[in-house]
Structure 1
């Protein structure tokens, strides 16, 4: 699920991006309303997680403008404790759900999954590459019908690759999805994660290849035959 995270607090945004990515979501961060508007205009998202206290525009104004132009992307609003007025106004403006700070990550993930299911009116589809299957509702991988056991970083990396199977993903982009923005890890650390993934995929019809100058790509060996 591709999630737009509209949050101006850098530490909160970095934590949410990292945690959601490790759980199999594909979060993209907008630090202010202007950035969010540009990203919504240029790409499609399964849901938006929006803080209200943005530096350039109140989140409810951004929400109202989204709905006025016909954007029906599900929006989950993060509110302060006891902010009843914001919740009432948000519902009237078209918000789909609310979560009060502080919150548990598990609840945020469950609410996002439920929002997307309701907006699509059906189960969230599975993504496949050969015998590798990713159920984006349960965020579980299976290979040849058996559950694939992965570490959080392996899971985050493979979720990005399977979503874009057949297309290369830049090394820096993959690194940012897997590691913290303020991590001391070198960008080369992503190669360690990919090495472990390749070992777990060994013997199957799926492989991770290095595309010189472009990054890494997940592909099915059967597609070459």
Structure 2
């Protein structure tokens, strides 16, 4: 995820909350910097403030849509007037929240946008006896809690969101780590290996294609 918010206290709170839920999230505080970053980097979700130094959030959003970037965008703003909400939605926002807001609702709305992007309608995923609850960040196999590490939960969600699609190691790393963490490809491999071992016996299969990356799919029982 990318958070674009110039209020340091609010940005820290949002970042801490979403990272505690297992999300990799980067932050920019300036509209011009966010615009430059979004031209070259891809994210699963952008949380975008409207009132920013440099270009405002609406301008950043319009530029994204003008170049064909369909990344889900959740607008955050202190503006509560209907006209302002309409401007944001017409500029291409997928959702809109007015400050102050409840962080539980922010988390829920982020999950909705993630589901919408992956084409799923609920927070629950099932593959044989494997179940995964997005809202609880909890995986169970045969009714037993797997007690996955946060990075393993992230990886499981990434694979579920991209069933049948080959993901390169670099793509996986981008989704699991922030820019500041600079992971090695070996770390990615180790996380994949651990998760594969943890879900062994389920119908969710993680295939490694040498030189290409990873693909998850559900096999017939």
Taking structure 1 as the reference length, the TM-score comes to 0.61
Q: 1:155 aligns with which of 149, 153, 156?
A: 153
1:7-22 to structure 2, matched below 5 A, reads: 7=4, 16=15, 20=18
2:214 match: 216
Change (3 A) 1:140 1:195: same
Aligned residues of 1:50 and 1:59 also touching (Cα < 8 A)? yes
Map Cα deviations across residues 1-30 of structure 1 (whole Å, 9 max, x no partner).
Answer: xx7x46277x969x84x9747736697999
The reply to whether residue 98 of structure 1 matches residue 94 of structure 2 is no
Q: Deviations over 1:55-109 (max 9, x none)?
A: 6632245668999xxxxx9864334xxx4xx3335335356543548x8865531
Residue 197 (structure 1) shift: 1.1
Distance 1:28 1:184 in 2: 12
Give the count of matched residue pairs.
Answer: 202
CA 1:167–1:184: 2 relative to 1, 3 Å: closer
2:106 equivalent in structure 1: 108
Name segments (4+ residues, structure 1) moved above 4 Å: 18-22, 24-31, 33-40, 53-56, 61-67, 103-107, 113-117
- RMSD of the TM alignment (CA)? 4.7
| Cα distance change on mapping 1:162 and 1:74 into 2, 3 Å | closer
For the pair 1:179 / 2:173, whether they are aligned, the reply is no
Partner of 1:124: 122
Measure, in 1, the Cα distance between the counterparts of 2:168 and 2:19: 16
Unmatched 5+ stretches in structure 2: 66-70, 90-94
Within the candidate set 126, 149, 165, 1:167 is matched to 165
CA spacing shift, 1:143–1:8, aligned 2, 3 Å: same
Query: Shift in Å at residue 201 of structure 1?
Result: 1.4
SS of 1:222 mapped into structure 2: coil
Residue 195 of structure 1 aligns to a residue whose secondary structure is helix
Structure 1: any 5+ residue segments left out of the alignment? 68-72
Residues 129 and 143 in structure 2, CA contact (< 8 A), matched pair in contact too: yes
- TM-score between the two structures when normalised by the length of structure 2: 0.62
- The 3-state SS of whatever aligns with 2:80 is helix
1:70 matched to which residue of 2? none
Offset at residue 35 of structure 1 (A): 7.2
The residue that corresponds to 1:143 in the other structure is 141
